Amino acid sequence: MTSAREIGEAAVREDVRTRWLLSAPALIIIFFAAIGPLFIMLLYSFMVKGDYGDVKFWQFSLDGWFKVILERDIFDDTVTLADAHLSVLWRSIKLSLATTVLCLIFGFPTAYFIATRSERWREVWLFLVTIPFWTNLLIRTFAVQELIRNEGIINSLLLRSGVIAAPIQMMFTDFAVMIGMVYVFLPLMVLPLYASMEKLDFRLIEAGYDLYAGRFQVLRRIIVPLVKPGIIAGSILVFIPALGAYVTPRLLGGGKSLMLGNLIDLQFGQGRDWPLGSALSITLMAMVMIALLIYVRSASGTGARHG
Amino acid sequence: MARGFAIKRLPGFATVAIVCFVVLYLPIATLVAYAFNSGMSIAIWEGFSFRWFVAAWHNEQVIETSLRSLNIAVIAASIATVAATMAALATTRTNPYPGLTFKYAFINQPLMVPEIVTAVALLIFFSRIKVWTGYSGLGYLIAAHTAFCIPFAYLPIRARLESMDLTLEFAAADLYATPWQAFKRVTFPLLWPGILSGFMLAFVISLDDVVITEFVKSGGQDTLPTYMLGQVRRVITPEINAISTVFLILSVLIVTLFFFVSRKKL
């Protein structure tokens, strides 16, 4: 005999089955054109490198991973740290952190400014932040490049006004990459910061002033703790794409200021060392995952969302 | 409330904010301004002219790569929107069921992994398939674009669905509508703005993509962004500014449209 409960359970099972069928196309596409290849790349990182790129199939070796941080001298086989790779790794972390901090320094007042406007103006300012966010990153990087290159606008203005005699070399430096990244990633900091500042209860601030707090104390003891989820979300949203940046360092850093993304690119281009490239990619992905994990840990319960 | 003491004010914040807005728009504004330069330089102003727009229009490579970009974006965004709509219907308005969290993670995965990593993984995978099958058409680019467009299309559709309850669908079912009829006559018309937003977002994301396209494309498959990336390393003329300007206008139009469509209330 079938009870009402069994009928109900059958309906739920049927519903869940329909839901799996409905989500199948999205899952299949993402599996084949995004997630699956990552596993193949993991496999490749353990293979012997081919002579002209690619790998020697099913010949396994730990060389790819070895070369991420170590270097074997071709003459006497001594093993040393791979300074070239480590310096790129270090630069990636350093520049990403610097970018995050600068975005926070500039983004925090900006978000606060927007959050304290009248409702109608808030939308206008917010829209002004959103526009660069959705416009092509390549074009925005290119816009920065046009300003700072040797024959660019800043240099030609300074030259013609006689302030400098020779153009200032700004391109192809760490500084250029950092400036470029701050410029392109700033909206990613402002938007989540704004989202948490919008909910700020200004009566708490008023209470702070009533209790004789100064402006700085109010900022440090009331506003910052209240918008902490936004600070964390914004920092992660800037740090992660900065760490994996490719276009900005390629255009502004060139061959002199490589970041991890460009080092990976080199292994698939001139370097022809796919296992090393794969191992570096997985290293980068692991760093991003760790950053995300820290974020999830610190944001759990606040319900912060991407975007 | 005490007048004369603005509790919301923090000294210097407004100044920094205004500086930020100026800095955000200044490079773009100069880029656009120099697209109208009559001289060869991207830094020395010589007079107003449309010559670089005309030059870009007559540049066969620009037209060819633009059409390819649009072609890929339309196909990839369409497939991604259909797949994302189905996935959104499958993952909202339900009690948690086994695999629901897995689906969220899976669908959002392309957002979590750095683009360069996905790009080289696809390069490895597709180059192997190219050897096996001999096929080297646009299919690879379309597949790659579709995959990273799905999470972007999914976001607004899911948001819209979550603000709709199932009452109307139940009412339709009470009136003997089949599930398909209920979807077509009730759910779909209500969901439409979300689907449109999702499509526009996916379209812009596909159109803008440089990194994945750069690694997945075969010879002669440049899109407008990868073509531009190749050009900016050479001697540059304001032609590239003119192309960027048109590109920017298109993006801003779509984003503005997106803003208005996604704000449409139920």
pLDDT tens digits for range A147-157:
998 888 888 88
Tell me: pLDDT of A304 over 60.
no
Spatial contact of A194 and A260, defined as CB atoms under 8 Å apart: no
Collect contacts of B182-188 with beta carbons under 8 A, ≥24 apart: B187/B89
| A–B interface: beta-carbon pairs under 8 A | 261
Give the CA-trace dihedral at B156, B158, B161, B163, to 10 degrees. -70
**pLDDT single digits (tens) A58-107:** 888 888 898 888 877 777 778 888 888 999 999 999 999 999 999 999 99
Strand ranges, E, within B59-114? none
Those of residues 48-77 in B touching chain A at CB distance below 8 A are none
Residue A254 or residue A285, greater confidence: A285
Cβ within 8 Å, pair A18-B252: no
Q: Which residues of chain B have pLDDT under 70?
A: 1-4, 235, 264-266
Spatial contact of B141 and B149, defined as CB atoms under 8 Å apart: no
Under the banding of pLDDT at 50, 70 and 90, the label for residue A307 is very low
Nearest chain B CA: its distance from A75 CA (Å): 32
Q: What is each CA distance from A240 to A185, A187, A201, A244, B114, in whole angstroms?
A: 10, 14, 30, 6, 8
Domain boundaries of chain B, sorted by first residue: 53-263
% of chain A surpassing 90 pLDDT: 56
What is the structure's pLDDT at A17? Answer: 93
Spatial contact of B109 and B172, defined as CB atoms under 8 Å apart: no
Cβ within 8 Å, pair B90-A128: no
Secondary element (H or E) of residue A60: strand A55-60
Those of residues 112-171 in B touching chain A at CB distance below 8 A are 112-118, 120-128, 143-144, 146-148, 150, 154-155
Give the CA-trace dihedral at B11, B17, B20, B24, to 10 degrees. -170
What is the structure's pLDDT at A306? Answer: 40
Q: Residue type for A257, please? A: S
Under the banding of pLDDT at 50, 70 and 90, the label for residue A301 is low
Does ipTM exceed 0.90? yes
Instruction: Report the CATH fold assignment for B53-263.
Output: MetI-like fold (1.10.3720)
Q: Is residue A246 within 8 angstroms of chain B, CB to CB? A: yes
Beta bridge partner(s), residue A71:
A80
Nearest chain A CA: its distance from B86 CA (Å): 5
Distance CA B220, CA B212 (A): 16
Chain B residues with CB-CB distance to A88 below 8 A:
none
Which 3 state secondary structure label does DSSP give B108? helix
Q: Is residue B41 within 8 angstroms of chain A, CB to CB? A: yes
